[in-house]
Structure 1
């Protein structure tokens, strides 16, 4: 394969595509070839079209794709889909109905570019929890089980890149909650970069390391998940789900009150104790609607979590009675959604030092 000057630890994609009508895809991004990059945005924003371009299923008018130093598409090169070392997981599991789960996995092994790896096979079965499902046909599996087999099949191709196009979209809430822990284990266990398309804030908050935000065929923001989710100038339309995701560690567990203290670069937060061991890395999500602002630290309150913050930025909310306030806490950021009246009464302006009172914090898992 051709090697370019693109670093071997990145994925570089440039696609220009004009369809009949108004839709136009115009993307130029470089992301690390590690972890999970969420491709996030509203329906019709271009997320799936972008993924199909990466897979070679869509032919852009102009395109360039370099994965870990290997050119898959360029001015003089166009690797067809079947020769791109990637795994693709769709909204529907798309298993071969006439084959058992094992038969579907065997098909992937035959397609793999590398020799069969028994250790990898056993690890995939264990991580996806499908060892007991191997002799069943797809119609004998639940939606979540079918999707786990589909993900296992994609992994056994031994891809250099894993594409996941809203893999939980067809599942009900119970099945989504069933499969999310397996996706987390996939992230932790396998050293394969993932492009994960989703319009679910909860999925992205739980799984992604970084995100690309799409709007009208363009990437309007990209970067570390915590940085992007804390921005208040983007057309994300989170509404009541607006909030930040913070990465921290469990530093204390209070067995008397069933609480755990999580330390992060902006301070510490008390959360409900979920049994996580001391020192374990966790993600906590703080919604803007759960953050109120005060001029002083109030000890005479039921609110446990209070952090000194500095107002970084203010933006108008879709509701003209409300305002979005970005707050700096150490090296991290929070968002508060307050009324315009409260903003005026408290004198909330950039640079103002205040106290953030956080009514609710949740570990996302």
Structure 2
């Protein structure tokens, strides 16, 4: 099962020509620069662009098939949608806003209970409040809960954090992280913020000028050495780690993953994590340097705490002519380093060569 979407739409000089196959569950993020077509593609999936040609199949249910004259209107699609603004009904309190989403779904078709949505988004204490008395983060949590209470087969989210300040954004991100773990609902999430991509995405779709230029699992896609020029600065990997220990004196967490361990400062990413809990870490290619020295982190005469043995698996040119990209294998975990061509030649790097990947802890905040 999967979500298959293929759309063609012209709006003046802009043309959307996008096709993608998304997983049947988890968070699929549409990412790209402003004007790349992210929101337009989401609107096509929602049925808000009636002129769009193409097809949409959601886990075997056909909602749009223009070659055969099929177009299921938005109100008949089993989808939930969350916009940049919460769009709550101002004359209804939170309880009645939520009931609007819950009551429109016949009882036999409900897959999300009232109690589940309330607990997941932490809005039980807000039920008697009016929308104008809520913070921005609280309004969005209510909007997400209302969308979930329709028991959607597909949940669409159009930059739901873009109107929030950093504090409110950090407040709501943990709730979003729990969505795909708690519910077996495919989520399509639009953003232009790479930190949201790193924390939320399971699957990544990169858009540029109305075209899908790359798609695939998160880290595999971000670490591609052949990304288009507009995404060159984002080349990185996202590691799935677990908190192995916390050093309160030095305010560092030791994170374990398949290829080794990392020391990371306590902060937004790991500040509230407990030992044993999962934690994602994004490592930017520009923050990885290479060494031929056979020193370990314990005996290295260096301020760099993270020094991991690796093997060079590929070398490719970067956008800047002074740079190259080096793909590394850390016992099955991939990493990418951006170094200069001068360093490449000075170290005489080649595929199959063992090296030490050096990552500054302060770069992993």
Residue 151 of structure 2 corresponds to residue 150 of structure 1 = no
Rounded to whole Å, the distance in 2 between the matches of 1:103 and 1:264 is: 45
Label 1:233 to 1:119 Cα distance change in 2 as closer, same or farther (>3 A).
closer
Superposed, which structure 2 residues align to 1:89-128 within 5 Å?
89-115=82-108, 120-128=113-121
Rounded to whole Å, the distance in 2 between the matches of 1:102 and 1:118 is: 19
Structure 2 residue corresponding to 1:176, chosen from 165, 169, 173: 169
**SS of the residue 1:354 aligns to:** strand
Residue 8 of structure 2 corresponds to residue 16 of structure 1 = yes
Residue 200 of structure 2 corresponds to residue 207 of structure 1 = yes
Which residue in the other structure is 2:313 paired with?
312
Rounded to whole Å, the distance in 1 between the matches of 2:343 and 2:45 is: 47
Rounded to whole Å, the distance in 2 between the matches of 1:247 and 1:304 is: 19
- Stretches of structure 2 that go unaligned for 5 or more consecutive residues are none
**SS of the residue 1:103 aligns to:** helix
Do 1:130 and 1:149's aligned partners in 2 also have CA atoms closer than 8 Å?
A: yes
Deviation at 1:60, TM superposition (A): 4.6
Superposed, which structure 2 residues align to 1:45-124 within 5 Å?
45-74=36-65, 75-115=68-108, 120-124=113-117
Residue 9 of structure 2 corresponds to residue 42 of structure 1 = no
Do 1:312 and 1:328's aligned partners in 2 also have CA atoms closer than 8 Å?
A: yes
Label 1:208 to 1:114 Cα distance change in 2 as closer, same or farther (>3 A).
farther
Residue 48 of structure 2 corresponds to residue 33 of structure 1 = no
Q: How many residues align?
A: 355
Label 1:205 to 1:76 Cα distance change in 2 as closer, same or farther (>3 A).
same
Deviation at 1:68, TM superposition (A): 1.2
Rounded to whole Å, the distance in 2 between the matches of 1:197 and 1:210 is: 12
Rounded to whole Å, the distance in 1 between the matches of 2:292 and 2:256 is: 24
Rounded to whole Å, the distance in 2 between the matches of 1:61 and 1:301 is: 57
**SS of the residue 1:285 aligns to:** strand
The alignment yields a C-alpha RMSD, in angstroms, of: 2.5
Which residue in the other structure is 2:215 paired with?
222
Deviation at 1:239, TM superposition (A): 6.7
Do 1:113 and 1:158's aligned partners in 2 also have CA atoms closer than 8 Å?
A: no
Which residue in the other structure is 2:291 paired with?
294
Deviation at 1:37, TM superposition (A): 0.7
Do 2:316 and 2:324's aligned partners in 1 also have CA atoms closer than 8 Å?
A: yes
Rounded to whole Å, the distance in 1 between the matches of 2:127 and 2:230 is: 42
Label 1:362 to 1:99 Cα distance change in 2 as closer, same or farther (>3 A).
farther
Deviation at 1:343, TM superposition (A): 2.3
Structure 2 residue corresponding to 1:267, chosen from 260, 271, 281: 260
Rounded to whole Å, the distance in 2 between the matches of 1:48 and 1:270 is: 38
Do 2:109 and 2:151's aligned partners in 1 also have CA atoms closer than 8 Å?
A: no
Rounded to whole Å, the distance in 2 between the matches of 1:190 and 1:179 is: 17
Which residue in the other structure is 1:162 paired with?
155
Rounded to whole Å, the distance in 1 between the matches of 2:4 and 2:111 is: 32
**SS of the residue 2:113 aligns to:** helix
Length-normalised TM-score, structure 1: 0.89
Do 2:111 and 2:151's aligned partners in 1 also have CA atoms closer than 8 Å?
A: no
Do 1:114 and 1:158's aligned partners in 2 also have CA atoms closer than 8 Å?
A: no
Rounded to whole Å, the distance in 1 between the matches of 2:58 and 2:242 is: 33
Which residue in the other structure is 1:346 paired with?
347
CA displacement, residues 73-117 of structure 1 (integer Å, 9 cap, x when unaligned): 112421100000000000111111111111211111222244586
Do 1:101 and 1:137's aligned partners in 2 also have CA atoms closer than 8 Å?
A: yes
Label 1:109 to 1:102 Cα distance change in 2 as closer, same or farther (>3 A).
same
CA displacement, residues 185-226 of structure 1 (integer Å, 9 cap, x when unaligned): 223222211001111110010011111111111111111111
Do 2:112 and 2:149's aligned partners in 1 also have CA atoms closer than 8 Å?
A: no
* 323-332 vs 180-189, which moves further: 323-332
Rounded to whole Å, the distance in 2 between the matches of 1:215 and 1:292 is: 30
Rounded to whole Å, the distance in 2 between the matches of 1:57 and 1:25 is: 14
Rounded to whole Å, the distance in 1 between the matches of 2:62 and 2:155 is: 16
**SS of the residue 2:125 aligns to:** helix
Do 1:322 and 1:337's aligned partners in 2 also have CA atoms closer than 8 Å?
A: yes
Do 2:23 and 2:203's aligned partners in 1 also have CA atoms closer than 8 Å?
A: no
Do 1:250 and 1:263's aligned partners in 2 also have CA atoms closer than 8 Å?
A: yes
CA displacement, residues 106-161 of structure 1 (integer Å, 9 cap, x when unaligned): 11122224458698211211211111212222211111111111101100111011
* 28-37 vs 340-349, which moves further: 340-349
Structure 2 residue corresponding to 1:285, chosen from 264, 279, 282: 282
